[in-house]
């Protein structure tokens, strides 16, 4: 129930301070803020702390992990100790896995994004590679592709 209340508390200002605008040229809907304070709150709290940097989940996990650790140190019964340790181990895993998402430097963020784009490009090249090889090598495949794309599909939409 607490996550629902927390989500509602975060969403209510969005419902109040966002308005929908229809573009006169493209007739697309866009959302804009009506309050300068909410815009700053949106940039620095919602995007940076909660979404981009994962600071809030990391902070909550760290606080409850430390509370669990204090509880583990004070327990004398071995079965409760091992049970509490089972709850403490995922906390450590979450801290280790969320920590690399926090970047301090825009340059390192740009380098990470470049490496990510190159990696994803090579990943998709595995699936798209045969298509480009057939285009380069097979004249029959090129003619068939031209026939299907231009003659069949383009004429269908005319």
Residue 3 has pLDDT above 80, yes or no: no
Task: Provide the number of structural domains found in the chain.
Answer: 3
- Average pLDDT of every residue of the chain: 77
Read off the pLDDT band of 144 (50, 70, 90).
very high
Q: Are residues 47 and 59 in the same domain?
A: no
Domain region containing 18:
1-52
Q: Which of 19, 36, 52 is the last residue of a domain?
A: 52
pLDDT in tens, 87-125: 667 777 766 676 665 656 677 777 877 888 888 888 888
Distances (CA, A) of 105 to 44, 61, 108, 109, 125: 16, 24, 5, 6, 30
Q: Are residues 86 and 45 in the same domain?
A: no
Task: Report pLDDT for 143.
Answer: 92
Q: Are residues 116 and 157 in the same domain?
A: yes
Q: Are residues 57 and 92 in the same domain?
A: yes
Q: Are residues 98 and 132 in the same domain?
A: no
């Amino acid at each position: 129930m607490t996550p629902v209340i927390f989500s509602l508390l975060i969403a209510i200002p969005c419902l109040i301070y966002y308005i929908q605008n229809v573009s006169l040229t493209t007739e697309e809907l866009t959302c804009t803020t009506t309050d300068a304070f909410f815009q700053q709150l949106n940039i620095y709290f919602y995007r940076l702390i909660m979404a981009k940097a994962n600071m809030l989940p990391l902070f909550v996990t760290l606080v409850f992990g430390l509370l669990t650790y204090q509880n583990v140190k004070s327990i004398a019964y071995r079965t409760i100790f091992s049970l509490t340790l089972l709850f403490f181990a995922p906390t450590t895993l979450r801290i280790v896995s969320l920590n690399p998402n926090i970047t301090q430097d825009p340059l390192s963020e740009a380098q990470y994004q470049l490496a990510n784009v190159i990696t994803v490009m090579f990943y998709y090249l595995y699936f798209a590679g045969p298509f480009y090889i057939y285009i380069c090598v097979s004249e029959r495949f090129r003619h068939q592709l031209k026939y299907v794309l231009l003659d069949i599909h383009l004429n269908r939409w005319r």
